[in-house]
A and B are shown apart, each in its own frame.
Chain A
Amino acid sequence: MAGFVDLYTEADTFLHRMDPRVKIIAVLLLSLLAFILSSLSYLLILLAFIFLLLFLARASFSRTTFALKFVLRFMVLIIVLWPIFDPSGSPALASLGPIKITEPAIWRGVTSATRVGCLATVWYILMFTTSQRDLIRALVKMGLRFDFGLTLAISLRFLPTFGALIDSIKDAQRARGLELSKGGLLKRSRNYVAILVPTIVSALRTADMLSLALQSRAYGARSDRTYLRDLKMRASDGVALGMLVAAFVLPALAKYVFNIEI
């Protein structure tokens, strides 16, 4: 279970210093932009821009390849399967019974795959450059209730703990003779019951202890709580936000008000 959970890489780039709220808005706007753009060349430019940002964020090579492996497989599968199910357009390149492979369908598949690639990689700008603590702090600052933010923080904090717990229970049950790598899918999954029951019981005990700990630290005593580190928008954050909004609004205007095909 190497490289578990936290995608965040420590560095000191302009993306790391940027206000996490701006980064969250950036991810949302760039995703919407990917839906607006419909021609392959513009989508490729957007994809290149996202990769440029990832490069500038000094994302570590091994983590990026881990993240991209899934995306690439996904894109290849779309390109291969799209033309088989989309017989519209001409000229037809090949046909077999009801299945007809046409040239425009292939291009549509490539376009859709590029869009999916944009949507899948834009997340990593946020995930690689923002620590979990800052992310939740930004969400709370944006209006998420504090107690919901705390729940989210608890779940992120306990994720690696339970990952390690499952691993050690797995080892313990294997030492007692449980086989996890033999048999069919159903049998193998059935054997997981012996691991999941102790895990869940131990997790529920943890929840009881945790609620006592929360109460003993005066959780919910006052509603006007303060924070040690407060988020502040700086001038550079404002500039970045303005540029992002422009990058989203201008193409949208061009497409839906002036009817320019992009």
Chain B
Amino acid sequence: MSLGEELGQTFRDVFLSKTAPLAWSLVLLLVVLVVYYLYSRASERRRLGAGAPANFVSPKTVALYGILTALTAAVTYASYLPFSPTKGYFNLGETMVFFSALAIGWREGAICGGIGSAAADILLGSGIYAPITALAKGAEGFVAGILGRLKGGTHWGPVLGIVLGLLLAVAASWPLPGKVWGVDEWLILLFLFLAVWAAVFIVFQKWKGLLSIATPIILGIAAGGAVMVVSYFMGEYFLLNVGLGKALAEVPINVAQVVIGGTIGGLLSFYVKRSYPALASR
């Protein structure tokens, strides 16, 4: 057995067998501790330079981030629509994630989208989702913000998007060892990812003339949406261990949320820039 295979086997034994939830939570704890250590060291250094002007981020940034986070949570909360078939819920919080990502920038999309959506989850009584939501929506805002704001990306944008989508799909699905109904799990996830990506992409291509949304924005929404749907699936399946059925039941709602949220978010980024020109200069 080669070294690579052995490493793969060890990885599977530790992270994908019965001990998976513990292993992953320990990894998470380790990451939190490292981040905490770095922060405390930085704040120590600040305290040493006492009396000097503080090295804080600018008040404009503080205000904008705070307001966008609050707005994301408030929109999620106000447009909350219980969805009968699976007892999940449908909301328009996605619009604010896409709006922040497409109109302002990927940092705002990732940070405000992630934290705001997680806060709304806690307030709506589903706090168990909050960590997964922060990661999933944050990643969505990040991807949509980076791909959606490519300048003149109409030629190589789709190619880049397809390559990125394939890479993400493979990265998300390769380590799954189990079988369900005689089919490999990783095949199911790979198929799921590609299906979501293609569905969102095709729907938006069809609406292109109607919405006059440029190709990079469609690409950003499709790739970001696929990342979000798959993050939720992985989080529910591995971290919370809720079973394949419950994890799959969420997928259609999440896809609907991406399609509708993406449409409105794309529209908003045009309308708001028109009625608030100070934003367009960013």
- Name B59-81 residues within 8 Å CB distance of A: 59-60, 62-71, 73-75, 77-79
A67 and B245 within 8 A (CB): no
Contact of B65 among A31, A77, A151, A206 (CB under 8 A): A151
A-B contacts, CB under 8 A, total: 242
Does A208 sit at the interface, judged by CB under 8 A? Answer: yes
With A5-B123, A77-B246, A215-B59 as given contacts, are A223 and B53 in contact (CB-CB < 8 Å)? yes
A223 and B55 within 8 A (CB): yes
Q: How far is the CA of A38 from the CA of B18 in the complex (A)?
A: 10
A223 and B279 within 8 A (CB): no
Does A229 sit at the interface, judged by CB under 8 A? Answer: no
Q: How far is the CA of A179 from the CA of B155 in the complex (A)?
A: 40
B264 and A193 within 8 A (CB): yes
* List of B residues within 8 angstroms of A81 by Cβ: 243, 245-246, 249
| Shortest beta-carbon distance from B239 to chain A in Å | 9
B123 and A7 within 8 A (CB): yes
With A69-B125, A81-B245, A159-B73 as given contacts, are A207 and B268 in contact (CB-CB < 8 Å)? no
A155 and B53 within 8 A (CB): no
A116 and B52 within 8 A (CB): no
Main secondary structure of the interface of A (DSSP, over half): helix
Main secondary structure of the interface of B (DSSP, over half): helix
Q: How far is the CA of A185 from the CA of B255 in the complex (A)?
A: 13
B279 and A224 within 8 A (CB): no
Contact of B67 among A145, A166, A167, A207 (CB under 8 A): A207
B264 and A151 within 8 A (CB): no
Contact of B39 among A143, A156, A206 (CB under 8 A): A143
B29 and A204 within 8 A (CB): no
Q: How far is the CA of A144 from the CA of B115 in the complex (A)?
A: 15
| Shortest beta-carbon distance from A153 to chain B in Å | 8
Does B159 sit at the interface, judged by CB under 8 A? Answer: no
B interface residues, how many (CB within 8 angstroms): 80
Q: How far is the CA of A207 from the CA of B49 in the complex (A)?
A: 30
* List of B residues within 8 angstroms of A35 by Cβ: 21-22, 25
* List of B residues within 8 angstroms of A203 by Cβ: 67-68, 70-71
A150's nearest neighbour on chain B, judged by CB, is: B62
A4 and B128 within 8 A (CB): no
Supply 29 A–B pairs (Cβ within 8 Å), ascending by A. Answer: A1-B78, A5-B123, A71-B126, A78-B243, A78-B246, A82-B242, A82-B243, A112-B242, A120-B126, A120-B128, A123-B122, A123-B130, A145-B56, A147-B57, A150-B66, A155-B67, A155-B119, A159-B70, A159-B119, A185-B90, A197-B275, A204-B278, A208-B63, A211-B58, A220-B53, A220-B56, A220-B59, A222-B51, A223-B51
Residues of A within 8 A of B (CB): 1, 4-5, 7, 28, 31-32, 35-36, 38, 66-71, 73-74, 77-78, 81-82, 84-87, 98, 109, 112, 115-116, 119-120, 123-124, 127, 142-147, 150-159, 161-163, 165-167, 170, 185-186, 189-190, 192-193, 196-197, 199-201, 203-204, 206-208, 210-211, 214-215, 219-225
